[in-house]
Amino acid sequence: MEAASQEISSTSEKTNVEKTDNVIQAWIIDYYFATLCRLFKERAHDEFRKTMKIFEVLVDGLDACPQRSDLPAQRTICCFLTRVMDGKNLGIRYDDRVEITPLMSALTIWDLLKSYTDSALHSKIQKLLTVQSVVVCVKSGNAKIAKETMKWLQEQNVVPENLQRMLATILKKKDSCDQPLLNLSFEELMEDIDTFLETFNQQSSSVFLIEAASKVVQGCQERSDESIETEKSDDTPSTTQSTKPKHKRKLLSQRRSGPWGANSIKKEEATLKRTNVYSKFITRAEASMNLNILSTSSVPLKMETPTRSPTKARRKWTYEEDQRLKAGVRKFGVGHWKEILNEFDFGNRTGVNLKDRWRNLQNHRLHV
C-alpha cells in the first residue's frame, strides 16, 4: 500500500515537473518571438534567420501547453515573417509547387491570421502582398514568373477587378514604376506588418522573461548609482576636514567619535566591495558581448590573446549558446556535435566543448 502511494506521488511529481518545464519553455519561446519581431523591424536579415532556426526547433519540440493558446499563432506569424523577409528573393521556395514565390506563400498564410488583426489592416496588407507579388517579379526582369503569379492570384480570387486591371497594365508595359503603384511600395508593406506585430504583442504575447531581465538590469544599475553616491558622500567630509585648521575643540570631538570612525571605514570597505562585485559583473558581460562579436566575424580567439596567462579563466558559456546547444541536441540528438556546430554559431568552440557543456547541463538539471 505504501509502495503504491509512493509510486503515485512520484508520478504526480514527474507530471508537475513536465508541466513546469513546458511553461518555462513557453516563456523562452516568447523571448525568441519578441526578438524575431524586433529583428524584422530592424530588417536584420541574417540575424533574423539565425534566430529563426532556434525558434523553429523550440516551438516544434514543445509539448501541449494548455496555459498558452497563442503559441500556434506565434509559429504561424513567424512562418509569415520569414516569407516576407525573403519576398524579393525569387530563388527561394517554401512550397512544393515550384511556381509559388515567397510572397505568394506569405499571402496564403496571411489569410490564416485574419482573426488576429482588424479587418481594415488585414485587407490593406493583403492588397500590398498581392501587388508586390507581381511587382517584385517585374522589377527583377522575370516576366514569365510575373505572368504565372498573376494567373495564380486570379485563380485564388484574391485580386479585386480594379487591381487586376492595374497589374495587367504593369505586365503589358513591363514597368513597375506606374504612378498608382508608387503608394503601394514594399517598404509600406513592411511598415504595416510592423504595426500588426506591435498590436499582437500588446494583446496576445507574453514578455515575462524580458520584463524580469529588465528589472534585474535596472536593479543592478540602481545599486551601482547608490554605491557611487555613497562613495562621494564618504569622501566629502574627509576632504573638508583636512582643509580646515585644527583646534582643541576639534581634537576633543575626534577622540569622542573614535568608534564611529572605525565603523565608517568598515562601511566604506563594504561599499567598495559591492562596487567591485558590480564592476566584475559589467566586465564579464562586456567580455561576453565582445566574444559574440568576434565569433560572428570568424576571428579566432587565440589571435586576440597570443600571450595568454595560464591562470586566466576560460570563456564562459552564454545563455544564447546554451539555447543553441539545446536546440541542436533536439534536432540532431546527443553525440552529433559536428552537425550541431555546422548548424548553429558557437564561435571557435569544438565538439569536445559542446560535449562537456552538455554533460554539465545534464548534471546541473539532475541536482536542481
56-109 pLDDT, tens digit per residue, is 888 887 765 555 656 788 999 999 999 999 999 999 988 888 889 999 999 999
CATH number at residue 12: 1.25.40.210
Domain boundary among 173, 203, 233: 203
Domain that holds residue 358: 319-367
255 in Cβ contact with 246 (< 8 Å): no
Average pLDDT over residues 105-125: 94
186 and 327 belong to one structural domain? no
Return the number of other C-beta atoms located less than 10 Å from residue 161's C-beta.
7
pTM of the full structure? 0.58
**For residue 132, pLDDT beyond 80:** yes
189 and 57 belong to one structural domain? yes
Percentage of the chain modeled with pLDDT above 90: 27
**Number of separate domains in the chain:** 2
Q: Classify residue 111: in a domain, yes or no.
A: yes
179 and 328 belong to one structural domain? no
Weakest mean pLDDT among 159-173, 193-207, 243-257:
243-257
Instruction: Say how far apart CA 123 and CA 130 lie, in whole Å.
Output: 10
Pick the residue with more confidence: 360 or 121?
A: 121
Mean pLDDT (the chain) is 73
Q: What sign for the dihedral angle of Cα 296, 302, 307, 311?
A: positive
**For residue 25, pLDDT beyond 60:** yes
Confidence class for position 12, pLDDT limits 50, 70, 90: low
DSSP classification of residue 114: G
Instruction: Say how far apart CA 345 and CA 341 lie, in whole Å.
Output: 7
Domain boundary among 176, 203, 230: 203
Return the number of other C-beta atoms located less than 10 Å from residue 336's C-beta.
16
Q: Classify residue 235: in a domain, yes or no.
A: no
Q: Classify residue 172: in a domain, yes or no.
A: yes
Enter the C-alpha cell of residue 80. 509569415
Distance (Å) of CA 88 to CA 42, 93, 260, 327, 359 = 17, 12, 72, 29, 43
Enter the C-alpha cell of residue 85. 523577409
179 and 39 belong to one structural domain? yes
Average pLDDT over residues 136-162: 87
pLDDT reported for residue 39: 95
Pick the residue with more confidence: 227 or 164?
A: 164
Confidence class for position 168, pLDDT limits 50, 70, 90: confident
Average pLDDT over residues 4-32: 73
Confidence class for position 20, pLDDT limits 50, 70, 90: confident
Q: Classify residue 226: in a domain, yes or no.
A: no
Q: Classify residue 307: in a domain, yes or no.
A: no
Average pLDDT over residues 5-27: 71
Percentage of the chain modeled with pLDDT above 70: 61
Q: Classify residue 97: in a domain, yes or no.
A: yes
106 in Cβ contact with 87 (< 8 Å): yes
pLDDT reported for residue 208: 59
Q: 167-175: long-range contacts (C-beta < 8 A, 24 or more apart)?
A: 167/130, 167/131, 167/134, 170/134, 170/135, 170/138, 171/134, 171/138, 171/143, 171/146, 171/147, 174/138, 174/143, 175/138
Angle between the N-to-C axes of helices 102-112 and 143-156, in degrees from 0 to 180, rounded to the nearest 10: 20
Domain boundary among 203, 225, 249: 203
Instruction: Say how far apart CA 164 and CA 288 lie, in whole Å.
Output: 54
102 in Cβ contact with 94 (< 8 Å): yes
CATH number at residue 354: 1.10.10.60
Q: Classify residue 270: in a domain, yes or no.
A: no
Q: Classify residue 121: in a domain, yes or no.
A: yes
How many Å from the N-terminal Cα to the C-terminal Cα in the chain? 29
- Considering just the CA atoms, what is the radius of gyration of the chain in Å? 30
What value, to the nearest 5°, has the Cα angle with vertex 90 and ends 88 and 94? Answer: 105
pLDDT reported for residue 290: 35
